[in-house]
Structure 1
C-alpha cells in the first residue's frame, strides 16, 4: 500500500476491548440486485461538472498540490527530477505544468518500478512517477475525491479522510463483541494490478462529467511501466505509487462493498484488506462464496494461500494486529 500500516498505528502494544462504535457496517445502498456494471448516474449534487480548464487548474490549486506532494516525499521518476530541483524553479515549473494541463498537451512520463519489502515479508511492486505527474494527479484528486467520498460505505476505512487502521480495528472488535466471531479473513490477489482499466474508467466517468479530467485519468491508467520482472513494459493501471491509486482502488472495490452489504454481510475493508464477520461457521462459508462471486464479476480473485476461515478463539492477524478471543495485540 502507498503508506505502511505501521505509520497509522499508535504506540500501544495492546488494545483492550473498545466501546461500540455507533454506526453499522451493514448500512448499504438502495436495494437492487448486484451487477458487474457501472452504477446509475449520480445526482447532480454528487457529480463533478465540466469546468473551463483555466478554472480547473489554477495556480493556487497546483501550488496546493505541490505542497501535498512535497510533504509526502517519495523517490524520483525516470526524469530524475527531485523535490529540491523542482522547488529551485518552482514558479516556472508549475507554470509550464499548468499550461500543459489547460491546453490538453499534458502527457505522463514513463514510470519506474521498484520492489519494496512488505512489513510481513516478501516484496511488493511500487511505481515511481515523475514529480510533475504526481502534482497533476494530486490536483485532480482534490477535484474529484469529495464526490466519491460522499458515496462510499461505512465499511470502507482505508485511505479515507478522518479514518485509519485504528477505526478498522475498533470496528472489528465491535463486531466480535456482537458475537460475530467467525471471520472470513480475505486477501485479494494482486489487487491493485488486477483492476480492469476500462471498467475503472467507467466508474470514474459515472461521477465525473469533465472530459479533460477523464482524459488525464485515462492517460495515467495507460501510462507505461518499465523495469518489470520480465522486462516487458506494461500499463500502469492503478498500480501502487500513484497519488490516485488509493482513491481508484476504493472506487473499484466499492462495487464489492455494495455486493456484500446488499446481502447484509458485516464487512470491514481497509483498502484491499478485507474481513467479513459472521455468527456461525455456515454463514461464514456462505459469505466466502459470496465474496468469490463478487470478486469474479469484477475480474478479481482471492489468494487461496492467504485467505482463511477462522474463529476468534483460534486467533488471526489483520492490519498488523493479532486478534485472539477477546483480546487484540499490536504485532
Structure 2
C-alpha cells in the first residue's frame, strides 16, 4: 500500500463516522466553559485560523528545519512538500469538517542519563505539521497568561533565565530548596483535566476534538503492537510542550497564590524557602494539591528538601558561599563525557578529522549552555580528557594492519 493510499484510508475512515465525543469527554468537567461565548479579552481560535495559508507555511518551514525521524508511514521530511501537494486539500477538508483522524505515533526508546529509558512518540510529519500549526496559534492566546516563574518552552525564555532567578532567590536568604520531581509526568497526564483547561480558551469544538485525538492517538512499538493512550501525552510532538505548560500553569498559579518563590522549567520545579521545616510542610501540601487537582504524583525518591548546593537544577549546581556562584554540576560533566565517549568509540575506521567534526557541535553546544558559569577549570579538564581519547583512537588505528604506514 502506498503512503497516499494509507492516508486516503485514514481520511475515508474519518468521514464514514469517526468516534463521537460528548462535550464532557471533549472538555472534562468544564463543559459550560467550552461552549459558552468567548470573552472580550480572548482571541478567537478556530480550525480556520489554524489552517490559514500563512500559518501553515510557517509551520511547514519549522517542521522542515527541525528535521526529525519519519513516523509510522515512513514519510520523510524531505518528501513532505510533494506529498502535501497531492493530499493537503483532502486533509484540510477533513479538518474543517472535524473528521480528521491523526495517524498512530511511533514509539522510540532513548536511554536517560540516570540509566532509565525515555519513550518518545514520533508523529508522522503530516501530523507534526498540523500540531505545529495549532501550537503557533494557541501559544499567543495562552502564553501571556502564564506565570513569570515559568521558563520552559516559551518564546523569549530559557533555562539560563530560570537558573539566574534561582540564584536571586538564594541571595535573598532562601537557602533551602524544595526540589520537586513529578512521577512520569508525560505518562500520567489526565486527558479530561487537561482538556478542561484548554477549553477555557478554545471554543471551537472541532479544534478541541482534534487536540483530544492527538492525546489519544495510538502508539506503535518496534513489534508493531498498537496501544491506545488513555492517559498521558507523547513526548516528541510540537504540541506537547505547550500543552504541558497549560496544565502546569495551574501549579504555578497555586504557588503564586501562596506567595512562594519558585522557578519551573517544563516539569522541573524548584521552590526556594527559608528553612527545612517550611520546605517539608510545603512539599507535603503541594503533593496533596497535585494529586487532588491535577491527578499528578510527586516522585518521593527523587524529590527532596535540601540545601541548593546539594542538588542540581537544569544541569547547574551552586557554590556554598555567602555570594552564591553558579557552577557546572558534576553529573552534567559526566553526561557530556558519555556522549563524547560514544562518538569516539567504535569508529576505528573513521579519520580523526571526521571524529573531530562530530565532537565539535556537541562541545560547542555544551560550552554555550554553561558559558556564564566559572567553567575555565572544567574546560581545561575536558580538553585534556578529549585529547587523550583522540590519541587512543589514533593509536588503535595505527595498530590495525590496514592503517600502518
Name the TM-score, length of structure 1 as normaliser.
Answer: 0.82
Residues 55-96 of structure 1 deviation map (CA, whole Å, 9 limit, x = unaligned): 541233212111111111211110000011113444334444
Contact 2:45–2:137 under 8 Å retained in 1: no
Residues 86-137 of structure 1 deviation map (CA, whole Å, 9 limit, x = unaligned): 1344433444432332233321001110111224542201001011111111
Which of the residues 44, 56, 75 maps onto 1:49? 44
Q: Secondary structure at the match of 1:70?
A: helix
Given the alignment of the two structures, is residue 259 of structure 1 paired with residue 254 of structure 2, yes or no? yes
Q: State the distance in 2 between where 1:228 and 1:191 align.
A: 23
Contact 1:188–1:302 under 8 Å retained in 2: yes
Contact 1:61–1:139 under 8 Å retained in 2: yes
Partner of 1:291: 286
Q: State the distance in 2 between where 1:307 and 1:86 align.
A: 43
Q: Secondary structure at the match of 1:44?
A: coil
Partner of 2:327: 329
Structure 1 unaligned spans of 5+: 1-35
Query: Quick check: 207-216 or 58-67, which moved more?
Result: 58-67
Q: State the distance in 1 between where 2:40 and 2:164 align.
A: 32
Relative to structure 1, the CA distance from residue 86 to residue 43 in structure 2 (aligned partners, 3 Å threshold; closer, same or farther) is: closer
Which of the residues 204, 227, 237 maps onto 1:233? 227
Structure 2 unaligned spans of 5+: 1-27, 333-405
Q: Which structure has the highest helix share of the two? A: 2
Given the alignment of the two structures, is residue 183 of structure 1 paired with residue 181 of structure 2, yes or no? no
Q: Secondary structure at the match of 2:188?
A: coil
Partner of 1:16: none
Partner of 1:109: 103
1:1-331 equivalent positions in 2, closer than 5 A: 44-49=39-44, 51=46, 53-227=47-221, 233-235=227-229, 237-297=232-292, 298-312=294-308, 314-325=309-320, 326-330=324-328, 331=332
Relative to structure 1, the CA distance from residue 90 to residue 229 in structure 2 (aligned partners, 3 Å threshold; closer, same or farther) is: closer
Bigger CA radius of gyration: 2
Q: State the distance in 2 between where 1:299 and 1:282 align.
A: 26
Q: State the distance in 1 between where 2:143 and 2:178 align.
A: 26
Relative to structure 1, the CA distance from residue 131 to residue 232 in structure 2 (aligned partners, 3 Å threshold; closer, same or farther) is: closer
Partner of 2:367: none
Q: Which structure has the highest strand share of the two? A: 1
Query: Quick check: 90-99 or 250-259, which moved more?
Result: 90-99
Relative to structure 1, the CA distance from residue 50 to residue 115 in structure 2 (aligned partners, 3 Å threshold; closer, same or farther) is: closer
Residues 160-206 of structure 1 deviation map (CA, whole Å, 9 limit, x = unaligned): 00001101100100100001010011110100111110111111011
Residues 274-329 of structure 1 deviation map (CA, whole Å, 9 limit, x = unaligned): 101001111111211122112111111111111111113x5211111122322221
Q: State the distance in 1 between where 2:48 and 2:145 align.
A: 28
Q: Secondary structure at the match of 2:81?
A: helix
Shift of 1:232: 6.1
Q: State the distance in 2 between where 1:39 and 1:152 align.
A: 22
Shift of 1:214: 0.8
Q: State the distance in 1 between where 2:79 and 2:169 align.
A: 50
